[in-house]
Amino acid sequence: MSATSDLRVRAALGVPRAWHLIERNLFVYRRTWTIIVSGFFEPLFYLVGIGFGLGRLVGDVTGPGGQPIPYATFVAPALLATGAMNGAVAEATFNFFFKLNYNRTFQAILATPLSVADIAVGEIAWALIRGGLYAAGFLVVLAALGLLASPLAILALPAALLLGFAAGAVGMAATSFMRTRQDFDLINIVVLPMFLLSATFYPIETYPEAIRTIVAWTPLYQGVALIRGLTVGVVGPELLVNVAYLLVMGGIGLWVTSRRLNRVLQQ
């Protein structure tokens, strides 16, 4: 059976066509899986070095709801959010750029029954899988270390996927406008300050009012606030605002990505 016939059979069976993009990526990474696994260790090193190391000097800090919590418990959910975001962004920017502009992978895919929308959804889904793997692995580590203070922490995984969707979709949309590898300096200029300032290591109340307002509207802060509230067990209407923000941001990013791919690939 030809590849095109196989796609038509699976479509008739109700298999989403975007799934074939995930299959392709699984096939590509089967020999280079260490590239994905290596991304798990960065937040773990931060947790050990800062969460536990610096945490011995800091003691308790103000957590969600104004209650004091150990510093490691404060930092851990932020690092989980950062890992999920970084995994999704790496796949949705660097790898997406090379598929689009160098390997011309998507141009070849359009020779099959798959559409531009299938490509956008499939690539976002794969970015989510990568970010989700980091989040799931890190969540297991946090549970083993006793850093999850509430049974609601199980919801931190879908929350991390939501953050990965928002950041990955916007990152992919931005990448569709890039023309050279030097443009990725702009990605780092955005991601690194978000990592350092999004209440990752310090409560947002410690920032000056002007900086606090800017930080509060970053996607990573929204994800950190959502995941931290779940892992500590402090929930309220503000978490719904975090969810709505990330859903809207991801939806806009996916819409822009689809339109940009349609324009670029149909040239």
- Among candidates 172, 140, 153, 163, which has minimal Cα distance to 228? 153
Beta-carbon neighbour count of residue 46 at 10 Å? 20
pTM over 0.85, yes/no: yes
Closest CA to 175 of 230, 101, 85: 101
Q: Please give the structure tokens belonging to residue 86.
A: 């970084």
What are the domain boundaries of the chain?
Answer: 16-265
DSSP 4-22: HHHHHHHHHTT--TTHHHH
Q: How many CB atoms lie within 10 A of CB 205?
A: 10
Task: Please give the pLDDT value at position 202.
Answer: 87
Dihedral sign, Cα of residue 117, residue 122, residue 128, residue 130: negative
Of 41, 232, 70, nearest to 138 (Cα)? 41
Query: What pLDDT score was predicted for residue 15?
Result: 43
Strand partners, 7: none
Note down pLDDT in tens along the chain; length 267 residues.
444 444 444 443 334 778 888 888 888 777 777 766 777 788 888 898 888 888 888 888 888 888 889 999 999 999 999 999 999 999 899 889 988 888 888 888 888 888 888 888 899 999 999 999 999 999 999 999 999 988 999 999 999 999 999 999 999 999 999 888 888 888 888 898 899 889 899 888 888 988 889 999 999 999 999 999 999 998 889 999 999 999 999 999 999 998 998 888 876
Q: Who contacts 258 (Cβ-Cβ below 8 Å, separation ≥6)?
A: 116, 117, 120
**3-state class of 111 per DSSP?**
coil
Please report the pLDDT score of residue 267 as a whole number: 63
Residue 257 near residue 176, CB atoms below 8 Å = yes
Terminal-to-terminal C-alpha distance of the chain: 31
- Start-end of H helices in 145-232: 156-175, 184-197, 209-216, 219-232
| Of residues 259, 267, 152, 173, the one with CA closest to residue 219 | 173
